[in-house]
Amino acid sequence: MNDVALAIDIGATKVAVGLVARDGTVISRTDISSKASSMEELNQRLASAIREQLAEATSAVTGAGIGSAGPINEIRGTINPVNISEWVDFSLVDFVKTVSGITDVRLIGDASALAYAEFCVGAGQNATNLLGVVVSTGIGGGTVLEGKFFSGKMGNAGFIGHTVVVIDGDQCACGARGCVEAYASGTNMSRNAGMESFEDVAAAARAGNQQAIDAIDKGAKVLATALVNAVATMDLDTIVVGGGVINAADVYWRPLQHHFETQLEFLNFPSTVSLTRSTLGKNSGLIGAGLVGFISVDQREGAL
């Protein structure tokens, strides 16, 4: 089949809208900012990007998939992203259906989209139990269990960024204290280093700045704790990490791997766990959203 899916990947600072083929190829892509002064402004921006992509389609667009920062309600088709206040309880699925005219639209978490993409066409193709993690402005997670995409009852399976690892710890954007995201996101590693952005932190760490090195090490250690907890809970064999922070893998990956392997030893599980970086880069979430967009189409047509 030569059809394509409309794919939407919603992160804390930007939204990607594109067309994705069944083999995971990104045909085209438009990026917009998710920072806006009102819901109306953000909605207009998204609607324009959707129409722009549909106008570029040279094949039939038969379905749509959305990967959104969470939490989400997959049943109702609504999103409530921690870092996008304009979209509190926003009926995104209905909005996309109205703008695009596409009837088969599926909503999943942004890290669930990464997990599914890496499982299908990326670093997790040989996995059985996989956790996909996005480390960026926020932290999200998504799962594949027993070789099947698993989003949970409401679509939030693997939502490790808001699991609590430090009792009465730092305030998180979600309102709780001690969440993984409060220490391990790019935004909060920047805060802990006293710098404007994670790019600044990474550059300072490369130059030997101890404050930057310590902030990265602390964030990596907290994330590693959450990852090991996930291994203990789901008996994972593969963890794939993506997101903007991985662009600084030269200063981030070694401490993350060290803390993960150190803590993993205490589990004494009989099998190994592969901790690896996303191979699909910035398109991972878009690819996963697109591939998921085909699922409801195929179910309706009896292909699944």
Alpha-carbon gap, residue 239 to 193, rounded angstroms:
27
Alpha-carbon gap, residue 239 to 68, rounded angstroms:
20
Multiple choice CATH, 4-110+282-300, 3.40.50.720, 3.30.420.40, 3.40.47.10, 3.40.640.10: 3.30.420.40
Q: Which of 287, 285, 261, 300 is nearest to 34 (CA)?
A: 285
Q: Answer whether CATH 3.40.50.11610 is correct for domain 123-279.
A: no
* CA–centroid distance for 273 within its chain: 20
Place 299 in a pLDDT band, splitting at 50, 70 and 90: low
User: What pLDDT does residue 17 have?
Assistant: 98
Place 300 in a pLDDT band, splitting at 50, 70 and 90: low
pLDDT of 233 higher than 70: yes
User: Across the chain, what does the average pLDDT equal?
Assistant: 94
Contact status, residue 53 vs residue 44, Cβ threshold 8 Å: no
Domain ranges, ordered by start, for the chain: 4-110+282-300, 123-279
Q: Which of 33, 30, 67, 32 is nearest to 52 (CA)?
A: 30
| Residue with tokens 């994972």, as numbered in its chain | 236
pLDDT of 3 higher than 90: yes
Place 83 in a pLDDT band, splitting at 50, 70 and 90: confident
User: What pLDDT does residue 2 have?
Assistant: 83
Residues 108-116 have a mean pLDDT of 94
Q: Do the first three CATH levels of 4-110+282-300 and 123-279 match, i.e. the same topology?
A: yes
Residues 256-262 have a mean pLDDT of 98
